[in-house]
Amino acid sequence: MRIDKFLSQLKYCTRSEAKDFLHTHHVIYQNQRILLTKHDVNPEKYDINIDGENVFYKKDIHLMMYKPKGYLSANHDALHPCATDLIKPPYDRFDFSIAGRLDLDAEGLLILTTSGTLVHDIISPKKHLPKVYLVTLDKPFTHEEQLLQGVTILDGKDEPYTAKALHLETHQEEVFITIDEGKFHQIKRMFQTVGYNVLVLKRIQIGKLSLGNLQPGDIIEFQPEDLYD
């Protein structure tokens, strides 16, 4: 790619500002200082050094985050802090898409990636990638059969939709529920349909990828194959 595109992608400057950036900063590639915006670089093969520091670069980056309550599954918002606010260097120079959002008051496993293909694989209902949630209800749960058979809820467009639990494990008010889709407020609406309010919602697993020992706000890198058998 051209060096001006590289600098823009990693948020050092805009492409129109790249000419001035190259003249006011030492950008070294293959032991040569770059001064022309049209200079081609291959950051996957060779290091690019800016003002004495090698730039961290990967074509595709996949992060798993323990999203705390109170953070939006979004990149920008005027009212609330966003999950992307928790991203620290060296990842903070990259633009991430969120694969499978969590409500503001929900917590747990959130996947952020620079790969559109991976986003599609995670959120597409055709892929049937299981997601496991731990919910705390307002009373002991006794309606396993109804959720396993399927209940009718409204999706994000207020259209009727049949939602099914693939698996349930009940411990009084606490329930582990597995689904392979993620309609708007699906978990909460499923339980509300059979007479329960969700007090705490925590996603603990997507595919084979689980929270493990992550604490709220923690972020680690993973590989796509970690999601699958």
Catalytic residues: 103
Secondary structure (3-state) at 107: strand
Q: Is 158 in a helix, a strand, or coil?
A: coil
Per DSSP bridges, beta strands 27-29 and 48-50 are antiparallel
Residue 120 dihedral angles phi and psi, to the nearest 5°: -60, -45
Cα diameter, the chain = 69
Query: How do beta strands 198-206 and 107-113 pair?
Result: parallel
C-alpha distances out from residue 186 to 25, 71, 110, 120, 198, Å: 50, 19, 16, 19, 11
